[in-house]
A and B are shown apart, each in its own frame.
Chain A
Amino acid sequence: MAEQQLKSARNLKIFCLLLLLLLVVLTGRLAWLQIIDGKLWSDRAREQLQETRSLQTPRGSIYDRNGKELAISHMAKSLYANPREVQDADALAKKLAPLLQLPEATLRDRLKVKGAFIWLKRTLEPAEYTRVFEFIAKEKVRGLDFLEESRRVYPNDQLAAHILGFVGTDDKGLTGIEMGMDTTIKGQTHKQILDTDSKGTPIFQSIFAFTKPKPGHSIHLTIDSAIQFAVEQALDHSLARTKAQAATMIVMNPKTGEILAMASRPAYNPNAFYRYSEQIWRNRAISGIYEPGSTFKSLVAAAAIHEKVVTAKEIFNDTGAIDVGGRVIKNWDGGSYGKMPFSDIIKYSINTGFAEVAQRMGGERMLKYSEAFGFGKPTGVELPGEEDGLLLSLKAMQPSDVATMGIGQAVAVTPLQLLTAVSALANEGKLLKPHIIKEIRDGDGLLVSYSAPQLVRQVVAPDVAQEMVGLMEKVLTEGGGKRANVEGYRFAGKTGTAERLRDNGAGYDPGRYIASFVGFGPLEDIQLAGLVVIDSPRGLYYGGEIAAPVFAEAMTQIVRIMGLRPSQDIKAFQPPKPVAPKPAPPKPVQAAPPAQPAVMPPGKFATPDVRGKTIREAAAILQKAGLYLIPEGSGVAVRQNPPANAPVAKSAEITVYFEPR
């Protein structure tokens, strides 16, 4: 009995020791795993836990100078799958295929991919998204979800298409601003290392890492979409009239170098850029080189007057032809004009006179001034694909080349180069660098950079430039550019007609011409300079007949858009007698009526100024004036479009931009 009990006590102790031994073994194993191999296991665990994801932030928007959207990235839903969570890939693929309009096999393959993330379809249409969303909710599908992705949209279709360019796959800008500023506005691809659970859902701190990234920098152009529209419309009308092959027009502010509009024809829609040929994508305003012809004469004249090789009053004797070292230069109409001062040589664009002036200047000075006016190298505008143009070297220059340069041949320029150079005449001889980007703002709307007018050089003396303005005004009032007249405003300019260079640059294309007109105004305070270039019109081809009316049509619109004061001294245009210029009547102060601008086109009246007003106040003011308010933003009005005092018709919509203050 006692023996049995002892035996059981002994067994019990053995049992206890055995279990304690096992516990020691377990401790040893734990120490091995956690202390000796701990680093190894934790690296493996980390590897399993972490997932690298790339996130695309939306591409920055492009706005015009008034904040109107020209290119936006709207967020679209993209469908992705987490194949680890997908339960029945085959059945799911079958059901999804009709909803997404994708082949079933493609979907099946994607749903079976190893990993926790695969795109099924990018940037769904809203209707598609709704269908798939409802399907997921109804069938309680697991492993499918959406991510927001940016999709480039050009809300105005073809408007300013050549400036904006477009974006290809992978968020890469292919032409225009989209290409030139690609790195600035590109949505960033953020690589995120996340801790996730086994289904790929972020855990721990990674939950907070999944915040929506800010969009890229936005670009605010110097372009005014209203002006751009007027320009494009004028070009379209012209193309319809002349059946020209191509056309381009640029409008800039010669005092600042800001490009207000820049259009090329034929046009394309950047929302569907792939439907057009590469030739149509080209921005002719900066890449289409041509012989400027007579428009170049204005620069030759300025240089010659500046160099004092000629004065406006010097009398020339035009015989109708001049031999310039083996080549005879004739006037455009083949006729002879006899004796006349140099001012008339300019007015009537007499070739012989300019050939002589050029010969007096000599090749060296001609080249020096050409370079000083910016020819032969890109202007440096913020657009890709700008051409140099062609400027002969002094060595290669024949005596005839010097003379033909005087009439704008033997030199090839881009439209922007020419307009920039002529703008210098409108800006007291100061050549400014043209620019198309007004400012760049970051994702929060804060200013990153701002383009101020940039002086390149003083090309001719201010008084010379001033004299040229006067001489060029005569082209419009008395000379070959009458059809460029903007009713009610004083403009100056120069027509041009040139034989068209072959596309390969070798010689001329017989029977094809380039008609152009360059001009600026209003002369009281020059705000606008414009160049129209029409390539290969059918029928009439003289600049004064083909290009000048386009200039007139566009500028007539533009002066109204900008609310510029018509010139007082032109009687033809003063229908409603201005009320405001009268000294302010001693009326009670509180009843001050909205300030009337001097003169308004018929049927139009001045846009009231609502800047500084709240939305409520602005709405009341505009309603009183019979206008409609389109508010943007909130707070206090900072800008309005059309601007204050600009002529508007009744019932027009006034977009007012409010900012919190």
Chain B
Amino acid sequence: MPEQTKSARAKVGARLWASPLEGLGFVTILLFLIGSINVFSSSFVMGSQLLGDNLYFLKRHFVAAMIGLAGMAFIIRQGYSWFLKRITIWSLITLVLLIAVFFIGVEANGARRWLSIGGITTFQPSELAKLVAVLAAAAYIGPRLDRRSVSLFSYPLLIAAALAALVTIQPDMGTGMIILGMCLVPYLVAGIPLREWALLIIGGGIGVVWLIFHAAYRAERILAWFNPDSYSQTSGYQPLQSLLAIGSGGMKGTGLGMGASKFYYLPEAHTDFAFAVWAQETGFVGSLIVLLLIGALLCYGVRIALDSTDGRGRSVAVGMLFLIVGQAIGNVAMVLSLLPVTGVPMPFFSYGGSALIVNIWSMGLLFSVAVESARRGKKASQPAQAEPLRRSRLRLSERLAQHGR
């Protein structure tokens, strides 16, 4: 008995919070707060000079956060299964929205990516498409995870391909690729036959090469990626400015708000390159904190996925996790010039209402997986007797949960 208490105490000491769910929640709140600070810091110059309100972007960021939080509450209340079951509806809605963008979308910078909402604000359906593509993959893989192997040749990939195609013609090839990639990850984690791996690698390779040489600007971007100084006034300008911003931050940074890069030196300082502003103003220390938080988010997320006894839950968790962490890693790699410039936003850092809403919903789905397993764990641990019994009761309760509500 004394030994037991000791170990329990040790357990409490080792963990700051009781469960991965709490940990994930804490990390998410931290990331959101830091991100919000950075949204303000990277946007107030532009906001005050071009729009006459230095809080312009922050206000919109918070409004989007509110919408996201409302959605999150709904998602957790309904549970992820409710959403998985209606994946056809979500897919259709997203397709319709993307088609609508094609016809009545708002044009900016030579691309149609937004839908106007009553002329007040805009919505970017391609952000929603990322979520739906992952959700579709999870819906397909989930039930098969426990039984038979999954195959790439399945409907979610078709849905993802359709969404990606519609996004690519906006044109926004970067996001199109992300949609396809996001959809693939649950497949890879679930395990696909070797044959399909080979096919994927060969097909992907050919696709990438074709895409690069299909448009001259992409090839130049790649060259600029290797040698930003030679392209400092053209394709290399943005990566170079990003490196200047990050590098000049040094160890401790220039101080919040005191970074110079957002004064029109670094393009897209408040969106795609927001992390560079953070790195400049808070230095290596601040950047490391964010990377650690993302690492923590990853670990808690994987814990939740592993804890989930439901194949669907696990697939949803993996998908949502990658949606957040994958984009974060991709964005930081791009900002650090480890990847060529593609429009991958940094979750919670890059300003963008649609992305923020979708990210919060994604976190909501991840939470719902944890909530579900916790609920099951409780139910299971209360009787805590025979193994088979627990299993059967689990199944039963799951069925009830699915049909009863």
* Bound pair (A, B): yes
Q: Which of B191, B248, B264, B279 contacts A45 (CB 8 A)?
A: B248
Pick from B86-94, B120-128, B295-303, B371-379 the stretch touching chain A: B295-303
- Determine whether A8 belongs to the interface, using a CB cutoff of 8 Å to chain B: yes
Interfacial residues of chain B within 114-155, with CB under 8 A of chain A in the complex: 145-149
Evaluate contact between B333 and A34: CB separation under 8 angstroms. no
- Determine whether B245 belongs to the interface, using a CB cutoff of 8 Å to chain A: yes
Pick from B20-28, B194-202, B283-291 the stretch touching chain A: B283-291
Pick from A197-205, A440-448, A580-588 the stretch touching chain B: A197-205
Q: Which of B147, B191, B260 contacts A7 (CB 8 A)?
A: B191
How far, in whole Å, are A20 and B299 apart by their CA atoms in the complex? Answer: 9
Q: Which of A13, A27, A30, A198 contacts B264 (CB 8 A)?
A: A198
- Determine whether B74 belongs to the interface, using a CB cutoff of 8 Å to chain A: no
Pick from A36-44, A166-174, A253-261 the stretch touching chain B: A36-44
How far, in whole Å, are A203 and B251 apart by their CA atoms in the complex? Answer: 23
Evaluate contact between B146 and A1: CB separation under 8 angstroms. yes
Evaluate contact between A198 and B247: CB separation under 8 angstroms. no
Q: Which residues of A contact B306 (CB under 8 A)?
A: 9, 12-13
Evaluate contact between B294 and A23: CB separation under 8 angstroms. yes
Name the residue on B nearest A198 (C-beta): B264
How far, in whole Å, are A29 and B287 apart by their CA atoms in the complex? Answer: 11
How far, in whole Å, are A16 and B20 apart by their CA atoms in the complex? Answer: 15
How far, in whole Å, are A204 and B258 apart by their CA atoms in the complex? Answer: 8
Evaluate contact between B251 and A38: CB separation under 8 angstroms. yes
How far, in whole Å, are A30 and B246 apart by their CA atoms in the complex? Answer: 8
- Determine whether A102 belongs to the interface, using a CB cutoff of 8 Å to chain B: no
- Determine whether B211 belongs to the interface, using a CB cutoff of 8 Å to chain A: no
Name the residue on B nearest A40 (C-beta): B247
Name the distance in Å between B125's Cβ and chain A's nearest Cβ.
27
Query: Contact string, A453-465, partner B, CB cutoff 8 A, digits 1/0?
Result: 0000000000000
Name the distance in Å between A390's Cβ and chain B's nearest Cβ.
68
Q: Which of A15, A37, A201 contacts B318 (CB 8 A)?
A: A15
Interfacial residues of chain A within 1-27, with CB under 8 A of chain B in the complex: 1, 4-5, 7-9, 11-13, 15-16, 19-20, 22-23, 25-27
Name the distance in Å between A211's Cβ and chain B's nearest Cβ.
21
Name the residue on B nearest A16 (C-beta): B302
Q: Which of A9, A20, A22, A41 contacts B244 (CB 8 A)?
A: A41
Pick from B53-61, B165-173, B324-332 the stretch touching chain A: B324-332
Name the residue on A nearest B242 (C-beta): A33
Name the distance in Å between A459's Cβ and chain B's nearest Cβ.
71
Q: Which of B246, B258, B298 contacts A33 (CB 8 A)?
A: B246
Evaluate contact between A197 and B263: CB separation under 8 angstroms. yes
Q: Which residues of A contact B148 (CB under 8 A)?
A: 4
Evaluate contact between B191 and A34: CB separation under 8 angstroms. no
Name the distance in Å between A209's Cβ and chain B's nearest Cβ.
15
Evaluate contact between A12 and B284: CB separation under 8 angstroms. no
Name the distance in Å between B289's Cβ and chain A's nearest Cβ.
11
Q: Which of B245, B249, B264, B288 contacts A197 (CB 8 A)?
A: B264
- Determine whether B65 belongs to the interface, using a CB cutoff of 8 Å to chain A: no
Evaluate contact between A38 and B264: CB separation under 8 angstroms. no
Q: Which of B147, B243, B305, B325 contacts A4 (CB 8 A)?
A: B147
Q: Which of A7, A15, A26 contacts B336 (CB 8 A)?
A: A26
- Determine whether B221 belongs to the interface, using a CB cutoff of 8 Å to chain A: no
Kindly name the residue among B189, B298, B306 whose own CB sees the greatest number of chain A CB atoms within 10 A: B189
Q: Which residues of A contact B295 (CB under 8 A)?
A: 20, 23
Evaluate contact between A19 and B325: CB separation under 8 angstroms. yes
Q: Which residues of A contact B246 (CB under 8 A)?
A: 30, 33-34, 41
Name the distance in Å between B303's Cβ and chain A's nearest Cβ.
9
Evaluate contact between B291 and A30: CB separation under 8 angstroms. yes
- Determine whether A49 belongs to the interface, using a CB cutoff of 8 Å to chain B: yes
Q: Which residues of B contact A23 (CB under 8 A)?
A: 291, 294-295, 298, 329
Evaluate contact between B260 and A30: CB separation under 8 angstroms. no
- Determine whether A195 belongs to the interface, using a CB cutoff of 8 Å to chain B: yes
Name the distance in Å between A247's Cβ and chain B's nearest Cβ.
64
**Size of interface on B: residues with Cβ below 8 Å to A:** 50
- Determine whether A48 belongs to the interface, using a CB cutoff of 8 Å to chain B: yes
Q: Which of B185, B298, B332 contacts A16 (CB 8 A)?
A: B298
Evaluate contact between A38 and B147: CB separation under 8 angstroms. no
- Determine whether A572 belongs to the interface, using a CB cutoff of 8 Å to chain B: no
**Size of interface on A: residues with Cβ below 8 Å to B:** 43
Q: Which residues of B contact A579 (CB under 8 A)?
A: none
- Determine whether B104 belongs to the interface, using a CB cutoff of 8 Å to chain A: no
Q: Which residues of B contact A48 (CB under 8 A)?
A: 244, 265
How far, in whole Å, are A26 and B279 apart by their CA atoms in the complex? Answer: 12
Q: Which residues of A contact B332 (CB under 8 A)?
A: 26
Q: Which of B283, B291, B302, B311 contacts A26 (CB 8 A)?
A: B291
Name the distance in Å between B381's Cβ and chain A's nearest Cβ.
20
Q: Which of B185, B284, B329 contacts A34 (CB 8 A)?
A: B284
- Given A34-B251, A45-B247; A12-B318 close (CB under 8 Å): yes
- Determine whether B314 belongs to the interface, using a CB cutoff of 8 Å to chain A: yes
Name the residue on B nearest A42 (C-beta): B248
Q: Which residues of A contact B146 (CB under 8 A)?
A: 1, 4-5
- Determine whether A127 belongs to the interface, using a CB cutoff of 8 Å to chain B: no
Evaluate contact between B245 and A45: CB separation under 8 angstroms. yes
Q: Which residues of A contact B314 (CB under 8 A)?
A: 8, 12
How far, in whole Å, are A1 and B309 apart by their CA atoms in the complex? Answer: 12
Q: Which residues of B contact A199 (CB under 8 A)?
A: 264
- Given A5-B146, A9-B306, A12-B314; A35-B298 close (CB under 8 Å): no
Q: Which of B189, B329, B333 contacts A15 (CB 8 A)?
A: B189
Q: Which residues of B contact A198 (CB under 8 A)?
A: 263-265
- Determine whether B71 belongs to the interface, using a CB cutoff of 8 Å to chain A: no
Q: Which residues of A contact B338 (CB under 8 A)?
A: 25-26, 29
Name the distance in Å between B187's Cβ and chain A's nearest Cβ.
10
Q: Which residues of B contact A8 (CB under 8 A)?
A: 145, 189-191, 311, 314
Name the distance in Å between B20's Cβ and chain A's nearest Cβ.
13
How far, in whole Å, are A42 and B254 apart by their CA atoms in the complex? Answer: 10
Name the distance in Å between B225's Cβ and chain A's nearest Cβ.
13
Q: Which residues of B contact A1 (CB under 8 A)?
A: 146-147
How far, in whole Å, are A37 and B283 apart by their CA atoms in the complex? Answer: 13
Q: Which residues of B contact A540 (CB under 8 A)?
A: none
- Determine whether B250 belongs to the interface, using a CB cutoff of 8 Å to chain A: yes
Query: Contact string, A256-284, partner B, CB cutoff 8 A, digits 1/0?
Result: 00000000000000000000000000000
Q: Which residues of B contact A42 (CB under 8 A)?
A: 247-248, 250
Evaluate contact between A22 and B251: CB separation under 8 angstroms. no
Interfacial residues of chain B within 201-220, with CB under 8 A of chain A in the complex: none
Task: Offer 21 A-B interface pairs, CB within 8 angstroms, sorted by A.
Answer: A1-B146, A4-B149, A8-B189, A8-B190, A12-B314, A13-B306, A15-B302, A15-B322, A23-B291, A29-B338, A30-B284, A34-B247, A41-B243, A41-B247, A44-B247, A45-B260, A48-B244, A49-B265, A195-B260, A197-B45, A197-B260
B residues with CB within 8 A of A:
45, 145-149, 185, 188-191, 243-251, 258, 260-261, 263-265, 279, 283-284, 287-288, 291, 294-295, 298-299, 302, 305-306, 311, 314, 318, 322, 325-326, 329, 332-333, 336, 338
